Chain A
Amino acid sequence: MNATAFDVAHMLAGSVVLVSFMMLYQDRLLALLNVFALHAALLSAAVAWQATIQGAPHLYVTAAIALFFKAMIIPAALHRIIRRLGIHREVEQVVGTGITMLAGMGLVALSISLMLNLTASADALAREDLAFALSVVLLGLLMMITRRNAVSQVVGFMSLENGLILAATGARGMPLVVEISVAFSVLIAFIVIGVFLFRIRERFDTVDDSALERFRGDVG
């Protein structure tokens, strides 16, 4: 593997992490969806590059799935949902942007120091890739707990899935079946959550999950 190939792979995976950070401070839903589409597109590019340098053509299929479903279909569908719900202008933030970003940086530092220690025997590309993938997963989780809106929680969940796909493609020899099943599980999760959003909306007139807490008698 030459240095250019490594640098490009490093850059693409690093940009996925960077876009995860961008998602953390998007306080408008439409902007968030656009950033998520970018996230998925970058993931697709990273996977395609992995396919090239690993000489594994089946990863192109994974890249195509990521590009088609995650960068196009899902963001478009979510666009439709939030327009139909009429919440595309809402601003939501639970924890301040500064604190969230600091926490995100801490998580990235944690995952890099952990992964680089644990995978000392693996090759350099896989190590970097796994460290970035774990960062993306943790940032997705962070996003899910700092958001209150169900739609942005769904987006956080799917960015977490992107991290998993990044990890799966970084490791050599992962069979295609796994990726397809991951992609479809995300799709199904998206459908289910979409249906639930409408249900919640019908009942409570909002997709803010603190309404659920009020309904249970807890203080939101």
Chain B
Amino acid sequence: MAVEFALIAAGALLLTGIAAIPLSHHRRAAELVYGASALPCGFAGVIGLWALVANAAPTTVTLPLGLPWIGAHFRLDGLGAFFLIVLGLGGALNSIYAIGHGRHETEPGRVLPFYPAFLGAMLSVVLADDAFSFLLSWEVMSLLSWGLVLVHHRAGGTQRAGYVYLMMAAFGTMSLLLAFGLMTGGAENYGFDALRAATHGPAAMAAVLVLMLMGAGSKAGLVPLHVWLPLAHPAAPSHVSALMSGIMTKIAVYGFVRVAFDLLGPVPWPMAMVVMILGGITAVMGVMQALMEHDIKRLLAYHTVENIGIIFIGLGLALAFRAEGLTAAAALALVAALFHVLNHSLFKSLLFMGAGAILNATGTRDMERMGGLIHRMPVTAVVFLAGCVAISALPPFNGFVSEWLTFQAILVSPDLSPWGLKISAPAVGALLALAAALAATCFVKVYGVTFLGRSRGAEAAAARETDRWSLGAMVVLAGLCLVIGILPGFVIDLLAPVTQALLGGAMPHQADSPWLTIIPVAASRSSYNGFLVAVFIALSAGTMAWAVHRFASRRLRRAPAWDCGFPDPSPVTQYGAGSFAQPVRRVLGSVLMRAREEVFMPPPGDLRPARHEVHLRDLIWERSYAPLAAFIQAAATRLNVMQTLTIRRYLALVVFSLVSLLVVLTLWN
């Protein structure tokens, strides 16, 4: 029954989308539509949770939709149920946030119909059980999110963002189409059951995996296919960016997991190595670009790229362990990846919501014009701090647990026999460590520049706390980040049926461990206790705070802020986002992004101000996308002649192409 209920939720969301079209000019349209979206999402999340907790057998249903005589097949199994939780939880909280945030929307008619339908399409991607339904839902999801990116289509840069996104989405769907075509292996059945049963040679398997990396990777944001994220996320309204970054990229991960672990047989280890190394490169490139960025939403988008890299490291490790037959280690790596999927959907939604609240309050995304918001938006400041700590992978929050598990999987990698994996896994581990450290640096910058210090602009000085709906959703998300960080064993046990179904093995049962400890491999090897760490942090911080207040002077002192070497009263001279990034920019940025600094000191008597400019280059764009665009442009110019041929030449063209196709067919046989 579970799959029917989930489908009803998807249908309800799609219907809400249609109903929102006439409603969108209603005075309370935002409350109605977002409220109506939150309910089915929460319902779907509950179904997913129930299916996982009860360890329910997969349920299927066939609807007479789509292609005639074939119908649309839907199925809910462990993997689908887990992503249903991610989607339902994120979607419901995001909709609650949107009830408040959506009031600030200037063009509700462009958002309201797309938003619930987008959620519904993502839901049906997770439920689809044949290639046709999957691709159709995937494409609907892409197009609806494209519509949402283009909401403020007159704002600068939005049209380019929409164009790049559309191109990448079309490219991704085409890759997926080819991947599914290859997987059928010529049999005329596109049901996932048939795909599961089909067997493939190593070459076909590698081709499918590469196509999946391109198809799902372009949607998830795998380097070098990540270019649309930093363009599209800032362009969309904040609750939509939270949805796209927190949930939609996870649906892309779902597509990859479904194919790589479920439909395709065990892939050979060189392909697993490719996935893992791509993940490592993605993590480092994402965080490097994030560190150089001062637009808060672009920065968060680059961090999504980084976290997708971390997830793909886990997935690549799981594939490698599975290829070598190390089931327990494969289960550990897959759990780490899926755990990070859940965590990232929580804290990235929270951070994008916080960014939306800041954007509403200050009217700008430029961090160099913020500062001191902790005084004006105290609650947002606290929950945003929770998100920052979680994404920086600091205990006791949830981000730490999944990254720690990924590291545990990397530490098992000496058990792998191929030398390629023995060497690359620790190298990827080093990349992951670098990315984690840089992410922490980056969020110190985000939090310090945005919330601390003094306001750098009049808007930031006049900012006001955001509404209660938004705060409610953010507080719940921050709480979840903390609770999952303290009680990770429950999530790991929740994932056991998933790994059992996909890999035939699971991690040790965690609920039996004393004191809520988690033990990924063996107690002698490593263990982590989020609860004790949290208690210790709370106790030591509390004691310290108490001691400071007890033994230090209680007298209230007022002194000039930042007075050590900071006598200038202008807030612009504070340590800014650019200042913060400078050390990393000089060390790593000069290689990875060709960072160049230019200082202009006017000669004495010159009235021009002194200038310090930083030039960064996006090498991935310059080396791959720009030449490709130039080539297409040149080819189109050449082929322009074809638009104005004479009648006889057109006829001749048709005949020659027909004849050459026939010749090919003759030679083929």
Contact = CB atoms under 8 A, between A and B. Distances in A.
Given A110-B659, A141-B658, A145-B655, A220 B646 contact: yes
A138 B651 contact: no
Interface in A131-161: 138, 141-142, 144-145, 148
A97 interface: no
B666 A114 contact: yes
B541 interface: no
Interface in B330-368: none
Contacts of B652: 145
Contacts of A141: 651, 654-655, 658
A118 B647 CA distance: 33
Interface string B379-391: 0000000000000
B662 A114 contact: yes
Given A138-B659, A142-B655, A118 B669 contact: yes
A125 to B, nearest CB: 21
Contacts of A61: none
Interface of A is mostly: helix
A138 B657 CA distance: 12
A141 B662 CA distance: 14
A113 B669 CA distance: 10
Interface string B625-669: 000000000000000000010111001101100110011011001
Contact of B648 (A110, A114, A118, A209): A209
Nearest to A138: B659
Interface in B53-85: none
Contact of B665 (A114, A138, A144, A213): A114
A123 interface: no
A145 B665 contact: no
A107 to B, nearest CB: 7
Given A138-B659, A145-B655, A110 B647 contact: no
A107 B648 contact: no
A145 B651 contact: yes
Contacts of B648: 94, 145, 148, 209
Contacts of B658: 138, 141
Contact of A218 (B644, B663, B669): B644
A120 to B, nearest CB: 9
A220 B648 CA distance: 10
Contacts of B655: 138, 141-142, 144-145
Contacts of B663: 110
A169 interface: no
Nearest to A157: B651
A107 B659 CA distance: 8
Interface string A48-68: 000000000000000000000
A94 B654 CA distance: 18
B69 to A, nearest CB: 22
A216 B647 CA distance: 11
A218 B647 CA distance: 11
A118 B652 CA distance: 26
Contact of A209 (B647, B659, B666, B669): B647
A213 B645 CA distance: 9
B666 A212 contact: no
A111 interface: yes
A113 B658 CA distance: 15
A141 B650 CA distance: 12
Contacts of B666: 110, 113-114, 117
Nearest to A94: B648
Interface in A180-220: 209-210, 212-213, 216, 218, 220
A209 to B, nearest CB: 5
A171 B69 CA distance: 27
A94 B652 CA distance: 13
Nearest to B658: A141
Q: Which of B648, B651, B662 has the most CB of A within 10 A?
A: B648
Contacts of A117: 666, 669
Interface of A: 94, 107, 110-111, 113-114, 117-118, 138, 141-142, 144-145, 148, 209-210, 212-213, 216, 218, 220
7 contacts: A113-B666, A117-B669, A141-B655, A141-B658, A145-B651, A212-B646, A213-B646
Interface of B: 644, 646-648, 651-652, 654-655, 658-659, 662-663, 665-666, 669
Given A110-B662, A209-B646, 5 more contacts: A118-B665, A141-B651, A144-B651, A209-B648, A216-B646
Kindly list the 7 A-B residue pairs having the minimum CB-CB distance in the complex, ordered from nearest. Answer: A117-B669, A114-B666, A145-B652, A213-B646, A141-B655, A145-B651, A144-B651
